[in-house]
Amino acid sequence: MARQNYRDLTKEQLIELLKARDDRFVDKDHAWRHSMWLDFMFQRLTLAKAFRGELVPQDPNDEPACVLLERVSTAKPAKKDHRNKNQAT
């Protein structure tokens, strides 16, 4: 049996996959471990899609990340007031 590629599945598709395979689970422990694995895979794939910018439509007018990082790194850090706010001045 060829290994299924879970990369492009949605959460609903993963749930349907679990339901379709539910009859093969003899014991609840095996079903629980499989559902935990599917949950892990969904979280992992969602995070990967987020880093690739595939979860929401991207705005072509946004500045590139490298420009934003350069601007942030060259900005002067604001002075922090380390005085106790409860202390009288």
Token pair 């349907």 in the structure block, residue: 16
22-42: pLDDT as tens digits: 566 567 777 788 888 888 989
pTM assigned to the model: 0.42
Q: Distance (Å, rounded) from C-alpha 46 to C-alpha 39? A: 10
Residue-wise pLDDT tens digits, 70-84: 988 888 666 666 666
Structure tokens, 9: 């599945």
Q: What is the mean pLDDT of residues 50-75?
A: 86
Cα–Cα distance measured from residue 3 to residue 33, given in angstroms and rounded to the nearest whole number:
18
Q: Residue 69 has which token pair?
A: 């990082």
